[in-house]
Amino acid sequence: MENDKPTYYELVNRNQELEIENERLKSQISFPCQDELNQKITELPFEKIFRKHDAVMFLIHGETGTFVDVNLAAEKFYGYSLAQFIKLKIGDINKLPPDELDAERERALEEKRLYFIVIGN
């Protein structure tokens, strides 16, 4: 029986699609308490744990090495916006030789790890 569960990367991509759609829809709706709503959104765990963490963090597509998401610390450290990051691959900012970086990324996939540690510029 085939596994019908979506992969981690499919979930990340779908989450990103939904966030974009939510932003589009929010821009079309007038909320009487927009400031209160914005405050609640920024208190979400993902915002605290990933987006606003002081450590540089990326979400990278495991098969292609392209950036799916980066936090604000990464944007500040590397000087790229999220829009610029998603046009790059991890190898574009990493000091490891491409073959070593690919091998580490592939090991993470094989071991079903949701992370791998890289050395930045």
Fold observed for domain 8-110 = Beta-Lactamase (3.30.450)
CA 113 from chain centre, in angstroms, equals 15
Rounded to whole angstroms, the Cα distance separating 121 from 110 reads 26
Cβ atoms 92, 74 nearer than 8 A: no
What is the arithmetic mean of pLDDT over 92-99?
85
End-to-end CA distance of the chain: 45
- The per-residue DSSP string of 4-44 comes to -SPPHHHHHHHHHHHHHHHHHHHHHS--TTHHHHHHHHHTS
Residues 6+ apart with CB under 8 A from 108: 62, 114, 115, 116
Question: What pLDDT does 78 receive?
Answer: 93
HSE (side-chain half, CA atoms, 13 Å) at 85: 24
- pLDDT, tens digit (0-9, with 9 covering 90-100), for 110-120: 888 777 666 55
Question: What pLDDT does 97 receive?
Answer: 86
- pLDDT, tens digit (0-9, with 9 covering 90-100), for 40-88: 655 667 777 888 888 888 888 877 888 888 999 999 999 999 999 989 9
Helices (H) and strands (E) in the chain, counts: 6, 2
Question: What pLDDT does 1 receive?
Answer: 47
- pLDDT, tens digit (0-9, with 9 covering 90-100), for 36-45: 655 665 566 7
